[in-house]
Amino acid sequence: SQQGEEDPQALSIQEGENATMNCSYKTSINNLQWYRQNSGRGLVHLILIRSNEREKHSGRLRVTLDTSKKSSSLLITASRAADTASYFCATDANNDMRFGAGTRLTVKP
């Protein structure tokens, strides 16, 4: 079953722009993870942020976590056409992992 809810469901931007996706959840968590999925492929793990962390960077990715609001955001800077994919958040709470429905990102060249 799903817990995280991504927002927006779909996002279309021009190459070079930044893309921000949000994830909200309901219960307390140990960590939150972001994944990417290209059409027809499995999920690829992007980044994990623990509940005691507020921000994490990896290359062009920046993830924030606000446990008081039970929300996280994924920012992709200087987007490229190759970033076109769906992005999922997943919450890990006491070894119970739940996924959101995903944000479909389209980056136009």
Contact partners, residue 68, CB within 8 Å, separation at least 6: none
Binding range to another protein, per CB under 8 A, among 16-24, 40-48, 53-61, 66-74: 40-48
Q: How far apart are CA 2 and CA 89, in angstroms?
A: 10
Q: How far apart are CA 37 and CA 22, in angstroms?
A: 16
Q: Does 45 bind another protein (CB under 8 A)?
A: yes
Q: Does 40 bind another protein (CB under 8 A)?
A: yes
Q: Does 63 bind another protein (CB under 8 A)?
A: no
Residues 6-35 within binding reach of another protein (CB under 8 A): 9, 31, 33, 35
Q: How far is the CB of 73 from another protein (least distance, A)?
A: 18
Q: Does 61 bind another protein (CB under 8 A)?
A: no
Q: Which residues of 56-82 are buried (b: 16+ CB within 10 A; e: fewer)?
A: eeeeebbbbbeeeebbbbbebeebeee
Q: Does 94 bind another protein (CB under 8 A)?
A: no
